């Protein structure tokens, strides 16, 4: 299974920290799996239960939110709310008989490029071990579904510093 299964992972990343950390990871030429697809939010506090569920419903194998370090949210407590909502979705998944580990909350600062890469690597590995989401729909894009669910909350994608290129090469340094 492992080796052939490449999970689709949606990351809800805060504009102030994780998104910038991803950019930094790229600049630092750190490797992380290409399985993650990011959606930028003004704050993880804007993330609601339904957004996470919509991604799962559309077939995402894993979903995580990446917000600021606790105590350092630009909007004070947005990341704490996000953690509570992620935990609630874990409960809902468990009730549905789906592994709660498919959703997670990570915290990092904009200066922690390495932490961003480590989170992406750790989570991708976790989902590879879990296997595919039992909910799979032909022709449905989890990324597009999650973006649609977010509506105007999601911010436009920006090209990240050379990260994509490095990841695609697969072996920097």
Is residue 151 within 8 Å of 47, Cβ to Cβ? no
Query: Residue 97 CB, nearest distance to other proteins (Å)?
Result: 7
**Within 10 Å of residue 22's Cβ, how many Cβ atoms?**
28
159 counts as binding other proteins under rule CB under 8 A: no
Measure the CA–CA gap between 170 and 143, rounded to whole angstroms: 22
The interface region with other proteins, picked from 5-13, 26-34, 36-44, 52-60 by CB under 8 A, is 52-60
153 counts as binding other proteins under rule CB under 8 A: no
111 counts as binding other proteins under rule CB under 8 A: no
56 counts as binding other proteins under rule CB under 8 A: yes
53 counts as binding other proteins under rule CB under 8 A: yes
Nearer to other proteins, 46 or 115 (CB): 46
138 counts as binding other proteins under rule CB under 8 A: no
For residue 65, give the H/E element and its range. Answer: strand 62-67
Residues between 5 and 34 that touch other proteins (CB under 8 A): none
Q: What is the size of the binding site for other proteins (CB under 8 A)? A: 16
For residue 20 the two structure tokens come to 């910038």
- Find the binder of other proteins among 50, 76, 111, 144 (CB under 8 A): 50
Residue 167: DSSP 8-state: H
Could you tell me which residues are beta bridge partners of residue 13?
40, 66
**Taking Cα atoms as reference points, which of 9, 3, 1, 10 lies closest to residue 149?**
10
Residues between 75 and 94 that touch other proteins (CB under 8 A): 92
Nearer to other proteins, 71 or 134 (CB): 134
Nearer to other proteins, 30 or 89 (CB): 89
**Taking Cα atoms as reference points, which of 173, 172, 168 lies closest to residue 34?**
168
**Taking Cα atoms as reference points, which of 40, 30, 48, 39 lies closest to residue 8?**
39
Measure the CA–CA gap between 61 and 82, rounded to whole angstroms: 19
137 counts as binding other proteins under rule CB under 8 A: yes
Q: Which positions touch other proteins (CB under 8 A)? A: 48-50, 53-54, 56-57, 92, 95-98, 134-137
């Amino acid at each position: 299974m492992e080796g052939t299964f490449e999970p689709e992972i949606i990351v809800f990343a805060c504009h102030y920290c994780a998104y910038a950390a991803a950019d930094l990871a790229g600049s630092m030429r750190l490797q992380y799996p290409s399985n993650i697809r990011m959606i930028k939010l003004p704050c993880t506090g804007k993330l609601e239960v339904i957004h996470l569920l919509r991604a799962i419903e559309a077939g995402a194998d894993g979903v995580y939110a990446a917000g600021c370090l606790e105590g350092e949210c630009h909007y004070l407590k947005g990341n704490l709310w996000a953690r509570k909502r992620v935990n609630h979705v874990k409960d809902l998944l468990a009730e549905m008989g789906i592994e709660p580990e498919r959703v997670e909350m990570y915290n990092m600062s904009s200066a922690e490029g390495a932490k961003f890469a480590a989170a992406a690597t750790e989570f991708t590995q976790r989902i590879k071990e879990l296997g595919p989401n039992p909910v799979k729909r032909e022709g449905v894009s989890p990324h597009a579904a999650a973006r649609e669910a977010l509506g105007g909350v999601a911010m436009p994608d920006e090209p990240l510093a050379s990260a994509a290129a490095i990841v695609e090469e697969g072996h920097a340094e």
